[in-house]
Structures are given as structure tokens and as C-alpha cells.
Amino acid sequence: MSQTERELIFSKYDGKCAYCGCELTKGWHADHIEPIVRDSKWNRDKGRFEQTGTCRKPENETLENYNPSCASCNIQKNSYTLEQFRTNIKQFVNSLNQYNTQYKFAKRYGLVKETEVDVAFYFEQFKNK
């Protein structure tokens, strides 16, 4: 990807993450909105998966299919579609309630208040401005 293309993607939402809306800093990611799903292969000698250089949906490799993303949002989104990503985020509170003692303790003392708001991405709100 060229520097000009990266600048276009960065500017798409005024230098903010398309998902959470935080200010993008050095190391921001160019995320595929519709995933391309990179292929990988197990390397027995190294004991890990390695990318093969191919992907399952090369037709999604277009400039229009990129969103600027902070590293944490892009890593969480992984190869999910937008709706799968939204559902995954919505499940975080359930997971915290089941598995995180510190979260449950903070909630018991009123430090955390849960809401039932829908997950709305920054780019969805940006469009409505």
C-alpha cells in the first residue's frame, strides 16, 4: 500500500478510528471492512502458523474496503464481518461477569454500571453528522 493510499484511509474519519472513534496514533492499522481472510499454514519446524501470502477473498482488496483502525479494534475485529464484530463486543460484558473476579468486585462496589446500549461504531455516527 502506498503512502498516499494510507493518507487517504487515515483521513477518511478525520484521523479517528472508524470503530471506537479514538484519535489514531503511530502504528494505526488499515482494516479490511469486509475481511480478506489471509491463508496460513502450520510450520512444524517453527511450531507456529505462518502466512502463505494468499487470501480467500482477494476481491475485497480494494481501497474502498479499508477503514482506519486503532490497533486494539483491528486485532479484536480480526476476520469478523462488521455484524460479527458488533456481536462479539456485545458479549464482552457477559464474559466479564462470568470470568473476571475483579470486574464483578468493582461492579459490586458501584464502580461499574452496565447498560443495554447497542454497539454503534464511530463511522456510523460520523455518516450522520
Global confidence as pTM: 0.81
Domains of the chain, earliest start first: 3-92+120-127 (1.10.30)
Give exposure, 93-127, as e/b (b: 16+ Cβ within 10 Å). Answer: eeebeeeeeebeeebeeeeeeeeeeeeebbbeeee
- On the CB side of 30, CA atoms within 13 Å amount to 19
Confidence of residue 10 (pLDDT cuts 50, 70, 90): very high
Rg over alpha carbons for the chain, rounded to the nearest Å, is 18
Pairing of strands 66-69, 29-32: antiparallel
pLDDT averaged over every residue in the chain? 92
Confidence of residue 44 (pLDDT cuts 50, 70, 90): very high
Q: Read off the pLDDT of residues 49-76 as tens digits, 9 standing for 90 and up.
A: 988 888 788 788 899 999 999 999 999 9
Average pLDDT score over residue span 81-90: 95
